[in-house]
Structure 1
Amino acid sequence: MIEMRREKRWPAKLNLEISNLFKQDHVKVENINAPIEVIDVSKAGIGFRSASVLPMGYYFNARLTLAENDSLNCVVRIIRQQKSGDDYIYGCEIVGTASIMDYVINDYAASLQK
């Protein structure tokens, strides 16, 4: 498989739950309550694992806590899905976030290299 990612991925272990998905034309899917495990993060996106089948092209709000005091609120769009055993691996593009994202990710990456 050809690597298409623009940014370096860093391992992460975060457990979140997706409760609502939405699309740009006010299409909304509510009460999903799909647990996810974030497995990697970069400046451009996140990768996660879930047992739930989630629709491609939909968005969700996420709060990523990468270090004790560093949390990011962002909007991500599901762009890739791959079956992996009983679960699915998803790739998401971060499309809406605070301008501090680069600093938080850089600090997180530096902490992993210590």
Structure 2
Amino acid sequence: MEERRRSKRTEMSSTLMVKRLDQGDMQEVSIDIIDVSPNGVGFLCKEVLSIGAVYESKLRIWTQEVLHAFLQIVRIEMKGDSYTYGAVFIGMSESDAARIRVYQTINDEK
């Protein structure tokens, strides 16, 4: 499979809640992050999410700061009893993307 990611992905241990924006039910689901980059995030979720849908999220990073971001689902794959998702960040601020790049730099040094 051809690699199409624009940025390097780094593993990150975190859980976050996401809410779908285009439906009236603001149901929150929990996801487990696999990896993150300034452009997007890979995660596991037991719930079925819709490809192309936009979700509001609050990502807790290693400094315990919370980044408010919007995720658009671009990839779904069944993995065991849960789903693996790929999502791109929509409208993430440059300062929040820079925090992720700093995390990657520190993580690469280890």
TM-score interval, smaller chain: 0.7 to 0.9
- Give 1:73 shift: 1.2
Find the counterpart in structure 2 of residue 37 from structure 1. Answer: 32
- Give 1:69 shift: 4.7
Long gaps (5+) in structure 1: none
Q: Give the aligned CA root-mean-square deviation in angstroms.
A: 1.6
1:71-101: per-residue Cα shift (whole Å, max 9, x none)? 3211110111000011100000101112203
- Which stretches of structure 1, 4 residues or more, deviate above 3 A after TM superposition? none
Count of equivalent residues: 109
Contact 1:76 1:93 in 2 (8 A): yes
Find the counterpart in structure 1 of residue 4 from structure 2. Answer: 4
1:7-44: per-residue Cα shift (whole Å, max 9, x none)? 100001111122x312xxxx315243322101110011
Counterparts of 1:33 and 1:45, CA distance in 2: 20
- Give 1:65 shift: 2.1
Using structure 1 for the length normalisation, give the TM-score. 0.85
Helix, strand or coil at the partner of 1:43: coil
Q: Which has the higher helix share?
A: 2
Find the counterpart in structure 2 of residue 88 from structure 1. Answer: 83
Using structure 2 for the length normalisation, give the TM-score. 0.88
